[in-house]
Structure 1
Amino acid sequence: MCDECNQYFAKKIEKRVLEMPYFRDVRHRNFIESKKRRIPVSKGIIGGAVDLKKRKDFGTEVIVNSPDIFQKILNGEVKHMIIPVNDQPIEDNKLISRFIAKIAIESAAQTFSSKKGWNNFIINTPEFKELRYYARFGDKLDMWNYSQRRIYNETDRFLNPKVSDGPYEVLHEQNLVFLRDRELYFVLVLFGIEYVISITNPKIDGYKSWLIENNNKCPIIEKNERDTIKGERYF
């Protein structure tokens, strides 16, 4: 991908996706730093809106910018703080769709990069060309549909002796898979939420039918691949 396109995606898509309330909060909860090594500030409510800032010792600072709210706290007028929790991003969002499309193309390039002529294959195959065009110019096009669902909680931990001697965390996992009628899909799991997009067409009906036929299993997680230790639920 050229530098100009990289800068476009970073500013116009990735930055805007990461600034969405869900992605801001999930990164805050899980201490995920930005490229500038900053953990996003989240929001709380105690007599009004306040900022929540993570410390390096995993504590949380409550930042009160309003003098009125600060005075209410000092006077004991408010004693409880509410921390809203976003369970998932807003569904059917074009920015997220383009974000997934971009990652799908990068995943395909990585997958096929060991094959001779892979570059021409990615560039000239009509399906990849359409998805690439959508990722770059999707604000002018109809949305390329995707599937979104939670398949495990973001605080769950897993057991598999082939991977780790003890419980481990999975922040993300992804793969390309052929499903119904040899249709190619890209599957991305972030913090327990599965996002799926078709490489070959902008509809997602085929994947939804596949889920019904396969008991709603995730196509990139094998049965009995790992045991799950259920974590604390935020929602």
Structure 2
Amino acid sequence: MRFHQDLESKRGTIPQIDGVIAPDIPALLTRYPKYNFTSIQVPEPALPRILQAGQGTLLFPMADSLPETPVVSRFVAKIALEAMALRLVEYTEGLSYICDEVQLDDLRNHARNGRINSWPIHIRTIYPPNGKIHGINGDLEQIVHEFDFLATDQSEWFFVMILFGVEFAINLGGPEIGGYLHWLEQNNGISPLYTEKHGGIVTMPR
């Protein structure tokens, strides 16, 4: 995703990705954002075949599967805590609440060291990674990320984030996602970020 979206690290680099020059020549793609340039590295023994062909097809993955490890849920837990801090920073004792609230102990510990091996999160694609909406000036603008908190009628709190069109939902109170699935069932599968509270599904990027 970082490769396709030109997302640089703090050092100004973008991860490389592996591809194939059809039918079977391995290729390594590298972006150089400073120069707006992409290089394709191939094995030297394959050069005669490429030159002889004259033209060819380069295949590379548009997306990779998420790792089946706690790293993803820890990532979402960390963002959830930072989003809470962002919401509460202007309120007296707001940040102290995030640091000291006992009900957030498991979430904090999971974000820090992953003590809970299995913390289920709900992941689904809501709109294309390049989804755009009309901005204030009427120009089309890509939505990179958005988030909000969902409180259900079962007194459960969920953090819901959409990152390049992919929705992530995590229970703030513990490793349980059933309450979110129940909410989705009750609300025809709509994302909590596109309920009438947020302008409805018509505001979803296309």
Q: Is the TM value for this pair above 0.5? A: yes
Q: Provide the aligned length of Structure 1 versus Structure 2.
A: 199
**In structure 2, which of residues 104, 111, 118 is the aligned counterpart of residue 143 of structure 1?**
118
Q: How many Å apart are 1:224 and its aligned residue?
A: 4.8
Q: Given residue 66 of structure 2, which amino acid in structure 1 is its aligned partner?
A: P
Structure 1 gaps of 5+ residues are: 1-25, 230-235
Partner of 2:147: 174
Match for residue 162 of structure 2? Answer: 189
Deviations 1:58-87 (A, max 9, x none): 5532122x1122232123298332212226
60, 64, 68: which one pairs with 1:83? 60
Considering fraction of residues, name the structure with more strand: 2
Counterpart in 2 of 1:10?
Answer: none
Among all aligned residue pairs of Structure 1 and Structure 2, give the percentage whose two residues are the same amino acid.
27
Asked whether 1:73 is paired with 2:46, we answer: no
Partner of 1:124: 100
Q: In the aligned structure 1, how far is the partner of 2:80 from the partner of 2:55?
A: 48
Sort the Cα spacing of 1:72 and 1:180 in 2 relative to 1 into closer, same or farther, 3 A. farther
Determine the C-alpha separation between the residues in 2 that align with 1:211 and 1:203.
Answer: 15
1:26-84: CA deviation from partner (whole Å, max 9, x where unpaired) = 111111111111222222112332111234465532122x1122232123298332212
**1:11-22 to 2 correspondence within 5 Å?**
none
Letter in 2 for 1:61: S
CA drift at 1:216: 1.1
CA–CA separation in structure 2 for the residues paired with 1:33 and 1:134: 27
CA distance in 1: counterparts of 2:161 and 2:118, whole angstroms: 18
Asked if 1:38 corresponds to 2:13, the answer is: yes
The partner residue of 1:200 within 160, 164, 173 is 173
Q: 1:211 to 1:93 in 2, by over 3 A?
A: farther
Residue type matched to 1:151 in 2?
A: I
Alpha-carbon distance between aligned partners in 1 of 2:119 and 2:12, rounded to the nearest angstrom: 33
Distance across 2 between alignment mates of 1:177 and 1:164? 30
State the alpha-carbon separation in 1 of the partners of residues 88 and 205 from structure 2: 32
